[in-house]
Amino acid sequence: MKRNDLCMRTRTSLCQKMPQEFGDQVIEFHRYVINARQKITYELSQIANMDEVPLTFDVPSNKTVDSKGVHSVTVKTTGHEKTHYTVVLTCCADGTKLLPMVIFKRKTMPKEVIPNGVVVHVQEKGWMDENGIKLWIDKVWSRRPGGLLRKPALLVWDQFRAHKTETVKNNLKRIKTDLAVIPGGLTCQLQPLDVCINKPFKAFMKDEWNKWMMLEDFDVTATGRRKRPTIAQVCQWVKKSWDQVKEEIIIKSFKKCGISNALDGTEDDAIFEDNLMGESDVDDPDAPNFIAGNSNEDESGNDSDASTVDYDFLGFFE
């Protein structure tokens, strides 16, 4: 191998090269957003992005420290690494962060006292669906600054099927919200939350979980195993982590995606900037690299098939 200048490589995550037709869709999406903003002068506080983020109750690190030569290392968890829930995040181009919504996998609402500043929803699979979207519109989107006045707004989100039902589109149209739907497979380039907001949020969530795991006072199950965090604790982590995400990162992320840039072209260079996250931001080696992209999301909330060539976003603006 050395003679042929070869080396062993380890698979980490799938990286997809962008086909030419995807590049064309990026251009068409940018053109659509510019035309929409020229037709209706949206305030930056009324240009928003919403995304569903799948998380788990346990967030163990993929790395640890132990003595050399040890072949097996125990990582302490509560055994709920695969027990998932969904966090719905929404932010605006001026840096405003709307209330996070948390969707838990259960049939009844929890009896625990939920911290203020978090909206809780339940669904049998812990995923977003049309009913969840309706609740989000009523409890989060309609209550944004300017929402009660029904200011014209532009909402950017992905092609998840619950985002595109006629009922959802009509409900948004009723409150003067226009849609810009990101083509399948391009959230890694066109969705602000995916580009550089979800990563620090997940890192903050992991930090909260690590702090909780280090507590000496905890409840155990009948078999002596540590109980998973309560719903109230998870909601508190979500609120605290979301509060820690900097407004500056949100503003830059919208410009990186070509959504809120100045219409005179003076901020177009922001689309090609790579280093959007400052040195003081959390750098989590275990967190997914959203800038590199993860375009095929599962059913918990995001893209449809990345191979689908679809210009649906062109038909949502009137």
pLDDT at site 133: 97
The CATH number of the domain holding residue 259 is 3.30.420.10
**Is 292 among the domain residues?**
yes
Q: What is the pLDDT of residues 237-283, one digit of tens each?
A: 999 999 999 999 999 999 999 999 999 989 988 988 876 654 334 44
Burial (Cβ within 10 Å: 0-12, 13-18, ≥19) of residue 72: exposed
- Provide the 3-class DSSP secondary structure of residue 221: coil
pLDDT at site 75: 62
Please state the rounded mean pLDDT for residues 181-209: 95
d(CA 226, CA 308): 44
pLDDT at site 302: 46
Please state the rounded mean pLDDT for residues 66-93: 79
Q: Is the pLDDT of residue 297 over 70?
A: no
**Is 24 among the domain residues?**
no
pLDDT at site 207: 94
Q: Is the pLDDT of residue 218 over 90?
A: no
User: At 178, phi and psi to the nearest 5?
Assistant: -95, 155
Please state the rounded mean pLDDT for residues 298-311: 39
Please state the rounded mean pLDDT for residues 291-309: 38
**Is 312 among the domain residues?**
no
pLDDT at site 79: 66
Top-confidence residue, 13 or 299: 13
DSSP string for residues in 291-312: TT------TTT----TT----G
pLDDT at site 6: 82
- pLDDT-based confidence at residue 13 (cuts at 50, 70, 90): low
pLDDT at site 98: 98
Domain span at residue 103 reads 41-56+81-298
Q: What is the pLDDT of residues 125-137, one digit of tens each?
A: 999 999 999 999 9
Pairing state between β 101-105 and 84-92: antiparallel
d(CA 117, CA 102): 11
**Is 68 among the domain residues?**
no
Please state the rounded mean pLDDT for residues 3-12: 74
Top-confidence residue, 311 or 218: 218
- pLDDT-based confidence at residue 14 (cuts at 50, 70, 90): low
Q: How big is the chain, counted in residues?
A: 318
Q: Is the pLDDT of residue 31 over 60?
A: yes
Edge to edge, what strands does the sheet with 153-157 contain? 119-123, 101-105, 84-92, 47-56, 153-157, 177-181
Reading the block at residue 3, the tokens are: 């003679």
d(CA 255, CA 178): 19
d(CA 169, CA 182): 15
pLDDT at site 204: 97
State the pTM of this model.
0.80
Reading the block at residue 265, the tokens are: 């072209």
State CA 96 to chain mean position distance. Answer: 15
Q: Is the pLDDT of residue 9 over 80?
A: no
d(CA 34, CA 54): 31
**Is 22 among the domain residues?**
no
Number of domains present in the structure of the chain: 1
pLDDT at site 65: 64
**Is 27 among the domain residues?**
no
User: At 122, phi and psi to the nearest 5?
Assistant: -120, 145
Reading the block at residue 84, the tokens are: 């998932």
Please state the rounded mean pLDDT for residues 209-236: 85
List of residues 6+ apart from 264 with CB closer than 8 A: none
pLDDT at site 277: 56
**Is 64 among the domain residues?**
no
Reading the block at residue 235, the tokens are: 């909601």
Q: Which residues pair with 313 in a beta bridge?
A: none
**Is 90 among the domain residues?**
yes
